[in-house]
Chain A
Amino acid sequence: MTTEPMQAVREFIIGRNPKLDGLSNDLDLIDSRAINSLAFIEFIFLLEELTGESIDPEDLNLDDFRTLKALETRFFTKEAAC
């Protein structure tokens, strides 16, 4: 697994969508079905592995998964140190 987490996220999506024509930061991954219901659980496990934190299935906000930008903000952006 790559050490750059967002690269691993991109590789996961492209790997499951070889016909995908470009993967922009703003592409709606849910509406475009780049991440569909069958891939979702694998994607959650990937995010857990990359962040080292568990994701509570009861407490998912779909908007956190809609775009690469939203994913990066929610899972991979450290809050600025004071």
Chain B
Amino acid sequence: MAVRDIEPVVLDLGRLENLAESGYYNPYTMFEWPDAIESELPWMSENLTTLAGTPMWDELTREQQITLTRFEAINFFSLNIHGIRELMSEVVMRIHEHTYANVSEFLHHFIGEENEHMWFFAQFCLRYGGKLYPAQPALKADSGDHFSSVARELIVFARILIFEEIVDYYNANMATDQSLPHIVREINRVHHQDESRHVAFGRMIFTNLLAQVAKRDPDEVPVVAEYLENYLQYSISTLYNPAAYRDAAIPDALALRRRALAHPARVEAHDRVLKRTRRFLSKAGAGREIIK
């Protein structure tokens, strides 16, 4: 990894490290996993499903709606698992590197907690859904070679931050949705609690690395901003999984996905999910308004 031309990342993480230590829990024993989940309850908040607010949702029977919430919950947790796999591998390759030596203590907490999150998401999917959805196809040939080495580092941590902020929007809402089964609320609540620390760290490291990118070449910042805006859109689109529509016996899954993604009610919903992240990126100086 060509990170030698990057200045060491120095952050004041004492408070976050103390919180990680004092809030430590045993994920393997803290959940009470029921043998089965109530069949009449949704597994995902209905207003957070990918068809919410559209005629496509209204056209489904009640049974299809409930079935869709189940498969979209399995998709959401599967996305969490694949996202964590990606971010863990990136962070593991950086911990105790010269650039990240100062933040390695927090990275140990981060890696440990993410592994535990992956475990309880997988437990849910396998116990109640009988499967995970596979990771969506990736284009490994596109390695970001056109970015400077410091911008590539920024993008690694920006992807982690964006992923966590989007997921957290869903977790925060579902943690208190009384229409959901208890175990679903609990998983979302526990994840939301840990992620607030990870998001705080993510924003700090993003700000540090963005300053380094801007110092090296200010003209690279709009290029990074364009990538991040595309990544926001990409992340939202992964929630619309045609396999989940097929599993819910909804016909023409691909056409439905295309129509749903473009529906004005869904575009508004996407803006709501991304509002907090876009505001942060704009304030940091890497918002979509600077794209050339």
Contact = CB atoms under 8 A, between A and B. Distances in A.
Interface of A: 1, 30-31, 33, 35-42, 44-45, 48-49, 55, 57, 60, 62
B142 A49 contact: no
Contact of A45 (B134, B231, B242): B242
Contacts of A48: 254
A45 B257 contact: yes
A37 to B, nearest CB: 4
B258 A49 contact: yes
Interface in B140-154: 140-142, 146
B257 A35 contact: no
Interface residues of B, number: 22
B237 interface: yes
Contact of A35 (B134, B138, B139, B234): B139
B139 A36 contact: yes
Most A C-beta atoms less than 10 A away, residue of B142, B231, B257: B142
B136 A41 contact: yes
Nearest to A66: B141
Nearest to B140: A37
Contacts, number: 50
Q: A41, A44, A48 — which one has the most chain B CB atoms within 10 A of its CB?
A: A41
Interface in B249-264: 254-255, 257-258
Contacts of A39: 230, 234
Interface in B98-143: 134-142
Interface in B43-70: none
A63 B135 CA distance: 21
Contacts of A57: 134-137
Contacts of A42: 237
Contacts of B257: 45
Interface of B: 134-142, 146, 227, 230-231, 233-234, 237-238, 242, 254-255, 257-258
Contact of B139 (A1, A37, A45): A37
Contacts of B238: 41
Contacts of B231: 38
Given A31-B141, A37-B139, 16 more contacts: A30-B142, A36-B142, A37-B138, A38-B230, A38-B231, A38-B234, A39-B234, A40-B137, A41-B234, A41-B237, A42-B237, A45-B242, A45-B257, A48-B254, A57-B135, A57-B137
Quick one: which of B136, B139, B233, B238 has the most chain A CB within 10 A? B139
B149 to A, nearest CB: 18
Nearest to B230: A38
A1 B233 CA distance: 21
Contacts of B237: 41-42
Contacts of B135: 57
A36 B139 CA distance: 7
Contacts of A44: 137
